[in-house]
Structure 1
Amino acid sequence: MNTLIKLEITRTLRNKKFMFFSIIYPSVLFLVIAGPQDNSTVPGTRLPMGAFYMVAMASFGALTAVLMGNSEKIAKEREKGWVRQLRLTPLPGHGYVLAKIASAAVVTLPSIVIVFLVAGASKGVRLDAWQWLALTGVIWAGSLCFAALGVAIGYLASGDAVRPITMITYFGLSLLGGLWMPTTIYPQWLQNVSSWLPTHAYAGLGQAVELGGAPHMKDVTLLVAYFLLFAGGAAWLYRKDTLKT
């Protein structure tokens, strides 16, 4: 399993187009969305707009890297026969899932840091040293949940269907979970739905740190539960796909 993890990380780092898109994309979005706005407080929170969108876009960028990258890559590998070759080895289903999650996690760290740098330079976001470190840690760790979701979608969808399914999931979770705009402006019924989505919990981790506290237990519990659900589903789909051949 360790060999496959190293191989997956190396393949990801060699994909220069994917790395460039995953790292630069969230920073550009931050400038487009947060740049024209003043630094007033987000309705219903004590966060300035710049700080709110810094966490939102860093989280969105990490989600982009792990979800989009994993789902489409796995669907292509299934079509090309790479996964069939892996089945001839003693690699367990959870080993394949963990290898994909680990390789996707490598991309998220630079994308998070660059969003922080852009936010500090363009919107004057200032935090204590411990907050910068904690923000990096919680956003990076939270992205593993969506890396597991990407693996599950890659095994659930065919090569032709994987992109539209991933895009719908990607934009749906981002919009409803509050990564594009504050959920406090949504109708109450939609806020109630949003509060149980993994993306809402994900953004909540960083927002709690920005306000000087620890992540809320509900957000942590939700993300862990979703991670176990997605990772377990991905491993089950891997084994199910194995039985077909």
Structure 2
Amino acid sequence: MEQNKLREETLTVSAETDDLKRVFQDRKRTNILNAIEQKTISFLVKRVPDFITSNMLTFIGTLGSAIVLLGFILAHLYGTREYLLLGVVGLALNWLGDSLDGRVAYYRNIPRKWYGFSLDIIMDWVSTVLIGMGYLVYAKSYYELIAFIFVVLYGWAMIISQLRYKITDIYSIDSGIVGPTEIRIILAIILILETIFGGLFQYFAGAICITLFIINILDTRKLLKLGDIRDDMERKAKKNAA
């Protein structure tokens, strides 16, 4: 009880500091497509058939990533870039399942917050690995390394989001105006361009990795600063409680 009270006092004091406000946004999503996305989810969540459960939607999301992997494999095996368009379908399914699984549970008043949170994080990582494996199969020569770098950098971003949640009790999956939805759209556009022109994916993939690296460095610096603020607030709270 005392520890929980201390945590609550610390977060309350921290929330009033300019540093904390500057380092992180509030609890709302910050991605540029947030308004459109939320309206779409609100429309869809009411129309999900009763027999489709949250777990099934999570599976659909992961299946979408497997379809992206399949598109890469088929394009490599048969030398036909048109198979990459399967990846666009897969990314759409991934968004659908990932966006609706938790929302459906809350809409039906049967949420399992920590179960759903844990499952979602695990499946997000599985999806990232599947997509990275797909590019690993499709890529040529030393460009295969980009797939490994992408998975590592995306994993780094996921770790940052978990640590941020631990420190602030604010769970955010966005980095500024870019979130998972925007990343899916960017990947879908890249797949379409690669299908039409060919030989472009490695350059786009490299650009994404560089961008992710820069974002992760900046977010890590912000996270460490926030951790320092939290430590300072806890020391002050302990001193005041003594």
TM-score above 0.5, yes or no: no
TM-score normalised to structure 1 length: 0.34
Rg (Cα) greater in structure: 2
TM-score normalised to structure 2 length: 0.34
